[in-house]
Amino acid sequence: MPTEVQAPSHLLMHLKMLSSKYQFSDKKQPTGTVIGIDLQLVNPLDSATILSEHDFTKPETQEKILHLLNGKKADVVLSDMAPNATGVKSLDHELIINLCFAALKFSRDNLKEDGTFLCKFLQGGRWKYLESAMKQMFREVRLVKPLASRTDSAEAFALGRHFVPHR
Ligand SMILES: C[S@@+](CC[C@H](N)C(=O)[O-])C[C@H]1O[C@@H](n2cnc3c(N)ncnc32)[C@H](O)[C@@H]1O
């Protein structure tokens, strides 16, 4: 007898890798909804709904995402959005942190209780503000530096786990 599984909703800002993670052939495994967004042209993927050439920070894009979520909350909001590098370290840091805040603000309203948030950023002075905002929303907040990320790169990921709505 087939096992009933709940379909999680995953909201990903331009994420190809994670969508394929949910291409299960075994029908007993959970299947999910993956929504990807990117400013650039992204080829369609069988396992995800892609909002190609969409600016995540625009209200009209977020309205489209809400429409696709169809009243559900997301299990995961994941952003590896990054603006084109200017080469000015402090400016690149500021611009990417702004994108993290945009994703965090969206999560505040659209993430499921106990959900997960992950965003890529470049380390710098404004991390402490992002961390502080995340601590008001998540029971666990960590800076993550994956092995795949070069040690001499400022790149890091802010991970929030166990979302507490309207804390
Ligand atoms: C580091 S790349 C991510 C690449 C992607 N993960 C991949 O594997 O191809 C950063 C991406 O963020 C996108 N981006 C930057 N600002 C954005 C925004 N406001 N809305 C949506 N995507 C944005 C860029 O277009 C770029 O493709």
Cβ pair 74, 118 in contact under 8 A: no
| Domain shared by 79 and 146, yes or no | yes
| Domain shared by 56 and 138, yes or no | no
What are residue 73's phi and psi, to 5 degrees?
A: -95, 155
- Please confirm, yes or no, whether 112 is among the known catalytic residues: no
Find the domain containing 3 and state its range: 1-72
Ranges 58-62, 65-69, 147-151: which has the least confidence? 147-151
pTM, whole model, 2 decimals? 0.86
| Domain shared by 119 and 78, yes or no | yes
Q: What local confidence, expressed as pLDDT, does residue 29 receive?
A: 72
| Domain shared by 63 and 89, yes or no | no
| Domain shared by 101 and 27, yes or no | no
Cα of 76 from ligand 1 centre, angstroms: 17
The tens digit of pLDDT for each residue in 88-130 reads 999 999 999 999 999 999 999 999 999 999 999 999 999 999 9
Order of all β-strands in the sheet with 33-38: 49-52, 33-38, 9-13, 74-79, 111-122, 155-163, 138-144
Domain endpoint, select from 72, 93, 117: 72
List the CATH number of the domain containing 122.
3.40.50.150
Indicate which residue's Cα is closest to atom 22 of ligand 1.
Answer: 38
